[in-house]
Amino acid sequence: MKAIAIHRNGGPEVLEPIEIELPPPGPAQVRVRHTAIGLNFSDINVRNGGFYLGNGPKFPVILGNEAAGVVESVGAEVQGFRPGDRVAYAGTGGLFFHDTGAYAEQRNLPAACLVKLPSDISDQQAAAMMLKGLTASVVIHRCYRPKPGDVVLIHAAASGVGSLLAQWCQHLGATVIGTVGSPAKAAFAQAHGCRHTILYRQDDFVAAVKRVALEGVAAVFDGVGKDTFLPSFDCVRPFAAVVNYGNASGNVPPFNLMLLAQKGCLALHRPGFGFHAATPETRAEACGELFQLVRSGAMKVEVSRTYPLRDAALAHAEAEQGRSTGSVLLIP
Ligand SMILES: NC(=O)c1ccc[n+]([C@@H]2O[C@H](COP(=O)([O-])OP(=O)(O)OC[C@H]3O[C@@H](n4cnc5c(N)ncnc54)[C@H](OP(=O)(O)O)[C@@H]3O)[C@@H](O)[C@H]2O)c1
């Protein structure tokens, strides 16, 4: 079967097609034929080698943490899944940068990481929302759950995670201010949860936030990192939550813990989706909530572009330049 692998860390050009023979699934495994594969910014970080400080992977590495598909066969000990079932997954139970392999036509996976898809959620919706939605879920359930009337700031609000988070916050009754990289992204963000948008590459976002929320916002949700992390502390009210869930612009700089006291007794969170809803039961519950948000119309999952799996390098190049809105999929 065909897959896309890297043999070293580097730019999009290190993504290469490979042909491998997949063994039968192990006793607790399920073989899944992928129909849609989610592209996540973390795939770019893994490709670049950003997560492997001092302890690199064994190449070749097949990238990818998220996909939907159809069960082809099951191992002897597997219960609850059978050939033909529609399933999806986001991560396989280990650290996401140690445990990749979704950029492939098929994959053997632990049955415990799979979620059965309801008939009203398409494969493409599932692959576009599982990992990003579970990231929004860890932010909202474990870090800060906006209350009606709260004003919250979401950086890169037109991104995959940002656009789900913005809609969820709006659904909970918050007023969402979103930063975005272009006017087109502003329009997208306004159609996906944001009441206000700020072009943060050209305008001073701290001043713009203060014009909307004089006292400061109740929470900042930041997947951008380096470029937005420190100025975000000037956007909040006392006892606010600052949540850094990603580093699209680079790692956040070292900072002094006293800043949290000086800026108003703030809470700082650095969540990861993999530690949230980590058992089959809690994962099914968290995904069930996401599916219900989509079903009810509270959350729209937008696939801005699909690429054939063989064009993964092009998809990476465009996502890395920040050209995407919503979710991007690779189709085997
Ligand atoms: N903690 C977790 O468990 C978890 C899970 C999933 C994702 N993440 C992280 O969350 C972030 C968003 O992920 P995603 O999949 O939603 O990303 P995405 O859809 O690819 O969007 C990333 C966006 O970040 C903005 N950005 C700002 N500076 C950038 C730069 N220097 N280069 C590229 N983009 C830049 C761009 O939007 P603008 O043009 O609007 O600036 C870009 O579109 C990433 O950092 C990712 O690693 C974390």
Per-residue pLDDT, 99: 84
Confirm or reject: Cβ of 133 under 6 Å from ligand 1.
no
Q: What is the pLDDT of residues 90-130, one digit of tens each?
A: 999 888 888 899 999 999 999 999 999 999 999 999 999 99
Could you tell me the CATH superfamily of domain 148-270? NAD(P)-binding Rossmann-like Domain (3.40.50.720)
Per-residue pLDDT, 53: 63
User: Span 127-141, mean pLDDT?
Assistant: 98
The domain segmentation of the chain, as residue ranges, is: 2-130+274-331, 148-270
Phi and psi of 269, rounded to 5°? -125, 145
Q: What is 48-60 written as a DSSP string?
A: HTTT-SSS---SS
Does the domain spanning 2-130+274-331 belong to CATH 3.90.180.10? yes
Q: What is the pLDDT of residues 248-299, one digit of tens each?
A: 999 999 989 999 999 999 999 999 999 999 999 999 999 999 999 999 999 9
Which of 159, 229, 252 is the best mutation target for the ligand 1 pocket, counting ligand atoms within 8 Å of the beta carbon and taking the most? 159
Per-residue pLDDT, 282: 94
Does the pLDDT of residue 55 top 90, yes or no? no
| pTM exceeds 0.95 | yes
Tokens 């189709």 map to which residue? 331
Confirm or reject: Cβ of 273 under 6 Å from ligand 1.
yes
Per-residue pLDDT, 162: 98
Averaged pLDDT score across all residues of the chain: 96
3-state SS, residue 78:
coil
Cα three-residue angle 216-138-52, rounded to 5 degrees: 105
Amino acid type, 254: P
Tokens 């599982």 map to which residue? 130
